[in-house]
Amino acid sequence: MRRTCTAFLGVALAWLWLASLPVAAQPHRATHLGNPATRFAPPIQRPEELRARFRDPTLRPDIASILRQWGWQGDLGDLFEAAETAPITEVHLPRGTRLPFMSSRNRGRPVVLRDVIWEGRQPIDAYVFVFNSNGRRYRCVTPKACSNFLLVDLGAVRPELELELSVPPQVTTCDPWEVRLRLRNAGHDALTDVRWTAALAEGLDVGPGGMLTGTIAVLRAGEVRDVPVPMRATAGGGKSMTWQAVSAEGGRAEAVGNTTVRGPRLTIDCVAPPRVLLGHPLEICLVVRNTGDAADLVTVTLPVPPGVTVVSASQGVVYVPPNLTWDLGEFVPGAAVRICATFEAPDLGGVTFAAAAHGACAERVVTGCEPRVVGVPAILLELVDVEDPVPVGGEVVYEIRVTNQGTAALTNVRPVGTVPDLQEYVSSTGATPAHLEDGGRLVMEPVATLEPQATASWRVVTRALEVGIAHFRIDLSSDQLPRAFGELESTNQY
């Protein structure tokens, strides 16, 4: 049985894949370490001594010979550079470790021992470093007791592209901010055509000069590239973003970031009475609130409708016709304010007020109200006989006048007369036609609209039939009167 030293990286589980290697007819079973006749080089106790072994010009030809015997297709320069600069760690190889090969010596000549099994009583202490060569990754294992180095093929090199994302935990819709991408080539070979892209939640977008995609032509091994991306937020709440990076070699990385967007959110309501009497003051109030979660500088504007006169306004107002303007200053979250102005409207009808509030970054909000200016209905009914007394057989003339003494128009104004039994109806003229119905009821057609201060009049002619006191009556109704009312005129007939 041949005796040599062997090595193993890490714990036993890390080497279980070696069990699947084809078993040589006579594996080398190693039980002791450090035999001067078979060790590849003197023992080592520190990582610096391992670096010195690979740096030794007298050993390098033998190292090359070992690797040729194994059939290695790598570049010796990569091995020597890694031995000089790569991190070195210490591992312990348990009993039963199986290795693909091990360097050794036979009568001083460098030889390769294939399929080596460690059967010693104690684990082997060894130094390990990792390197890449010609597109493959290798682990170099060197037992401390004998320097019988070996290489383990770890497979094809995978591009090691890393992406880190730096996102502010909180931002506002008012202020600019940025996301910072950090692209790192953690591998040993350059990466080309490194492209990054982003998928953003609704309400997030790039700011001026920012891009959702970009390319780095070459990212050298170990190189780190920081990419700042200006951002802006248009909607509040929790927002997420996913950034991805890929390279032409197949490297791929992804990073997810989250931020909370805060911002002011304004509401404005117009408060006004549904109607106001003509000539009375009209108060318009605006209630402004910040229902968001960030402060803002807020301004409120209320245009004055044409013809309307400003009587007074809340403190802090600036009146530059036609606008009333209030500067609310820094309007913090949860703040609410009520501002009012008093006006006089010259005419009847609806008066439209449209107000707006906006901040330095809060969206503009609008409100409106349309109170109606109304008048007070008031009717004067006058009924007189032109001559009194009147002889039997003579004509009796009655004049009827309806005057709108109020400030609101009257509609469907209808006088209805009652001709007394001592008279007979002759004729009538006036604002609207009239006709006599059964029972002496004299009905005038209604006046559709009687404007304030306007008068409608009629003239009714009857004939005196008998001696006595005749009572002529007029009853008046309109849409604005809750009930009809009347006047009575008495005429002495002789």
Mean pLDDT per segment of 10 residues, for the chain of length 494 residues? 36 35 66 91 97 97 97 96 95 92 96 94 94 90 96 88 95 92 90 94 85 92 94 90 93 94 96 94 97 94 96 95 96 96 93 96 94 91 95 96 92 96 96 93 95 95 96 94 92 95
> Class of the 266-374 domain?
mainly beta
CB contact burial 182-221 (16+ within 10 A = b; e otherwise): ebbbebbebbeebebebebbeebebeeebeeebebeebee
- Cα separation, 353 vs 313, in Å, equals 15
pLDDT at 189: 82
pLDDT at position 423, please? 95
470 touches 395 (CB < 8 A):
no
The dihedrals phi and psi of 458, each to the nearest 5 degrees, come to -135, 155
pLDDT of residue 152: 95
DSSP category for residue 84: H
Helix (H) or strand (E) holding 44: none
Rounded CA separation 110/103 (Å)? 7
CA distance 378 to 122: 120
Q: What is the per-residue pLDDT for 174?
A: 87
Q: List the one residue out of 463, 471, 461, 494 whose CA is nearest residue 391.
A: 494
Taking CA atoms, 315 is separated from 252, 318, 319, 340, in Å, by 62, 9, 11, 9
- Listed by start position, the domains of the chain span 12-156, 161-262, 266-374, 379-493
Topology alike, domains 266-374 and 379-493:
yes
- Which residues have CB under 8 Å from 477's CB, separation 6+? 412, 413, 414, 416, 483, 484
Q: Which CATH class is domain 161-262?
A: mainly beta
CA–CA separation, 388 vs 386, rounded Å? 7
Q: What is the CATH number of domain 379-493?
A: 2.60.40.1530
Q: Could you give the angle at the alpha carbon of 231 between the alpha carbons of 225 and 232, nearest 5°?
A: 175
End-to-end CA distance of the chain: 168
Q: How far apart are CA 284 and CA 306, in angstroms?
A: 15
Q: What is the DSSP string of 327-339?
A: EEEEE-TT-EEEE
φ, ψ (nearest 5 deg) of residue 166: -110, 115
- Per DSSP, the three-state class of 175 is coil
pLDDT of residue 107: 94
Cα 442 to its chain centre, rounded Å, is: 74
Instruction: Tell me the two tokens of residue 241.
Output: 């973003």
pLDDT at 25: 52
Residue 144 DSSP code: T
Element (H, E) at 77: helix 76-85
Query: What confidence score (pLDDT) does residue 22 get?
Result: 44
- For residue 183, give the nearest of 168, 196, 198 by alpha carbon: 196
Give CA separation, 372 vs 184, 280, 282, 367, 369, in Å.
70, 12, 10, 17, 10
